[in-house]
Structure 1
């Protein structure tokens, strides 16, 4: 089985059924299947071969979904990059992935890469013969998701067809998805939550409704979307639901057709979670856990019993055939959903050490206890502070920089502590603009602190504990 097979199967069963809808367009399964085959022929005409990477730098549209299907049918590797990523960061991704082709729906280009407009792929072979998909094996790579890297640049998590489907098949069974379901896609295509939204919908023959990048951050319009689109299954980071509850009257307006609400990516503040549970007593609520390298590897279902809870809910028990254990307090995952490896690096061998700390509760369920290293979740996205500090140091007014994550969950913020170049006084707004040229919006700094030099430990490393006290005192901004 491959990630492209579910669309073809659904098209054979019910070609007129709705497959995917964006804010302005929609495609039935028959139309999506036809457009994917058309695009497949065009990709081959552009020289794309099995194993090649195709970087798709577009908005969230039905066209970009068809392109992704075509890339998979070509036996190539899909590299989705959200449109909001600045060109300089996309250039870093392209330098690592070395794509055979970059597909865009805008005018920005990456130097040295071969580009083709998304729309042209459907016109070039519109009247040509149908192209047969390339057969793939479960172990063949399907996509690469680029995340924040500890070395100062993005790194690509490579996932196989079989690894993705192990999760998708489990999720379809757990949520009892049917062709009547209507799934929302809130996450960007470069974020691993979208794997469920798209491929679980296609596996069940359901429809997936794309939430545009701008709409994804607008509370009241998001609630309108949920209700007017008659969404039955919602999956997002908790902060999106909190935003909708606080500023979009989500609790007051009710869940509409919603029957399952799934969240992942960060801790859900307990009070807000209890409020949601009380407001939606008939909606299943599930907390899923797993880094991009493993997709979802544990799950916990929230029930009315959790209304009496005084501590955060667990991340739950292993799913999708994975084995999850603790080694010296660190969460370690082995099983079918674990990545193939980081693109360009050594293949993943054996269990994956997540860098997350955990412990078992009295019922034997895992609880999340924080990070072994400095990586953190900010606004529902994984952030390596080293990547942000590397961008700051590239600014002409900054000699050195350290980025600290202050706060937890929805309150997590990125604080930049910088040593200015002599005679310079970098301003917060100036550095925010600089960050926006290199980083996605969720990685921009939230506060700026300037110091004459960094405190050091006995072995010469930056003393982050002392820096945190500087931030707590409110150093000069």
Structure 2
């Protein structure tokens, strides 16, 4: 599959079809082609002998997508940078990537960066001046060239640039079209910012199938009234988000088939999908398929998937994350590098064409996480899991473990059992330190409906349930109840914010 050719086809055959909707702004496929062609022609003229990556800065503006495609048509990888990212981190990305150009449909005020900034007004001039020009297809990125580079958090505090080639992305999109029953001309929810690779799960499947992306931004998410008003107008067919975002929406009683009558597919990635959340979604959207997927940024969004139906819900309290896509393999390795037996836990290793070529400009980090298996690229995820008859189960991060009073424990295991409680809608476990050592566990809980008059009665009931499953040292010492759990810009539970609030 050639992604650019597929998108070009819709731009030529159905130029008036909507490609992107954000608030009152609309972008048709015809406009997408015109804008991206014009900008690509300008980039080629200005940077003919330079293939350095190009930063694209903004949020959910439709021009962001035009900028992405323009970069790729001109032979450059793009680096999506969300406007919510702190200035110091943006500076580090600019320095690490070697980018010489930044495109922004939102602002010109990025003088602190050591790159050329082309802001909104200049972009508008380029779109107009070069509107009748188009780049030659030969200029576009090729199979082994980087298509995009997404920066993720690094353990050293410095962001790491994950390189995703054109072949990686085409492998992912082909799998999505083959295995997830996506149709031509559907409306896709775009909730994740473009700097979070979950956005790729809706962006390119939508563009390649002639679909429409319906974007909700961070300000809408912060104001549920605006969010649900937008969703009610969206006619979404395919919902893509983190589980946390869906769980937040489930707190609104009207979030159901009556609000979104066309939804036929829920795609989840980026976090653990709880049995409880999936059960509520099936009750609210009985005609929809709920797909649980798994994959790190370094393996191009996701590489496993499974439909969660009533049978799966009843069979597994902790939901599986699916079967591996046909062109890749999942291995489970012990610490010594040997493979585990079926059902035995170890580190998840991904092998195949979806795997990134490594971290940009970081050969030592690349050598530590990437390897080859039977001549194919492989990525050591740092995630714990096991395979059972080919079905993958995720057991949290290997480095998301703590030692509390001499006991080693996985916080995600405790969260899983809390979320399975009849009294809990959602939960996050925070390890609280004292004198640089972990002192106790705090459970931050959104309670389910219950009949207890006092919070300590509810806490007692939850403790009693946990005591039948977990050893005493894994039961949180303190419980805190909230109406909501804050989320990061990527739609994940914001543990840092929670921790800062409870330790102030």
Provide the TM-score with structure 1 as the length reference.
0.78
Between the aligned partners of 1:252 and 1:233, the Cα distance in structure 2 is 13
- Asked if 1:315 corresponds to 2:321, the answer is yes
SS at match of 2:93: helix
Distance 1:220 1:27 in 2: 25
CA distance in 2, matches of 1:255, 1:277: 13
Given that 2:235 and 2:260 are in contact with CA atoms closer than 8 Å, whether structure 1 keeps it comes out as: no
Q: Secondary structure at the match of 1:330?
A: strand
The Cα shift of 1:415 comes to 6.0
Question: 1:405 offset after TM fit, Å?
Answer: 7.3
Number of the residue aligned with 1:114: 116
Contact 1:3–1:72 at 8 Å: present in 2 too?
no
After TM superposition, give the deviation of residue 223 of structure 1 in Å. 3.3
SS of equivalent to 2:298: coil
Alignment of 1:6-25 (within 5 A): 6-25=6-25
Deviations for 1:64-118, whole angstroms, at most 9, x for unmatched residues? 1111110111110100011101111111111111211112222233332211103
CA pair 258-447 structure 1, distance change in 2 beyond 3 A = same
Find the partner of 1:154 among 156, 159, 163.
159
Cα distance, 1:178 vs. partner?
2.7
Q: 1:302 to 1:217 in 2, by over 3 A?
A: farther
Paired position in structure 2 for 1:366: 392
Give 1:378-393 correspondences, 5 Å limit. Answer: none
Paired with 1:375 and 1:208, the residues of 2 have a C-alpha distance of 38
Secondary structure of 1:412's match? strand
Specify the alignment match of 2:268 in structure 1.
263
Identify unmatched segments of 5+ residues in structure 1.
Answer: 377-403, 421-435, 450-473
Is the 1:325–1:333 Cα contact (8 Å) retained in structure 2? yes
| Structure 2 partner of 1:204 | 209
Native 8 Å contact 1:93 1:146 kept in 2: yes
Residues 312 and 29 of structure 1: CA distance in aligned 2, closer, same or farther (over 3 Å):
same
1:332 offset after TM fit, Å? 0.7
2:171 to 145, 158, 166: 166
Matched, 1:231 2:232: no
Higher mean C-alpha displacement, 10-19 vs 304-313: 304-313
Which residue matches 1:379?
Answer: none
TM alignment of 1:352-431, pairs within 5 A:
352-361=379-388, 363-374=389-400, 408=415, 411-412=427-428, 417=433
1:290-329 maps to which residues of 2 (within 5 A)? 290-294=295-299, 295-309=301-315, 311-319=317-325, 321-328=327-334, 329=346
Q: Do the aligned partners of 1:21 and 1:27 also contact (CA within 8 Å) in 2?
A: yes
In structure 2, the residue matched to 1:130 is: 133
Query: Deviation at 1:50?
Result: 5.2
Work out the CA distance in 1 between the residues paired with 2:494 and 2:110: 21
Task: Answer yes or no: is the 8 Å Cα contact 1:220–1:244 preserved in 2.
Answer: no
**In 1, Cα distance between equivalents of 2:278 and 2:251:** 12
1:248 to partner: Cα distance: 5.6
The separation in 2 between residues aligned to 1:68 and 1:96, in whole angstroms, is: 20
1:103–1:48: structure 2 CA closer, same or farther, 3 Å change rule?
farther
Q: Distance in 2 between matches of 1:31 and 1:372?
A: 46
Deviation, 1:222, is 3.1
Q: Structure 2 vs 1, CA of residues 29 and 252 (structure 1 numbering), >3 Å: closer, same or farther? A: closer
Counterpart Cα distance in 2 of 1:446 and 1:230: 34
Question: Judging changes above 3 Å, is the alpha-carbon distance between structure 1 residues 418 and 322 closer, same or farther for their aligned structure 2 residues?
Answer: same
Task: Give 1:60-99 correspondences, 5 Å limit.
Answer: 60-99=60-99
The answer on whether the counterparts of 1:157 and 1:293 sit within 8 Å (CA) in structure 2 is: yes
Aligned residues: 406
Q: Unaligned regions of 5+ residues in structure 2, if any? A: 335-345, 373-377, 403-409, 417-425, 437-487
CA distances 1:191-217 after superposition (whole Å, capped 9, x unpaired): 111112111111111111122122234
Residue in structure 2 matched with residue 338 of structure 1 by the alignment = 355
Deviations 1:324-379 (A, max 9, x none): 11112111101111111111123644211111111234x54111112112499xxx
Task: Indicate the SS of the match to 1:276.
Answer: helix
2:447 aligned with 1:447, yes or no? Answer: no
Q: Do the aligned partners of residues 231 and 198 (structure 1) sit closer, same or farther apart at CA in structure 2, a change above 3 Å counting?
A: same
User: After superposition, what is the alpha-carbon deviation per residue over 1:406-435, rounded to whole angstroms, capped at 9, x for unaligned?
Assistant: 864753366675879xxxxxxxxxxxxxxx
Higher relative contact order (CA 8 A, sep 6+): 1
Question: What secondary structure does 2:361 align onto?
Answer: coil
In structure 2, C-alpha distance between the alignment counterparts of 1:375 and 1:150, rounded to whole Å: 15
Aligned to 1:470: none
State whether residues 21 and 210 of structure 1, in contact with CA within 8 Å, keep that contact through their aligned partners in structure 2.
yes
* Residues 415 and 446 in structure 1, CA contact (< 8 A), matched pair in contact too: no
- Give distance in 2, aligned partners of 1:323 and 1:111: 41
C-alpha RMSD over aligned residues: 2.8
- Structure 1 window deviating more from structure 2 (335-344 vs 272-281): it is 272-281
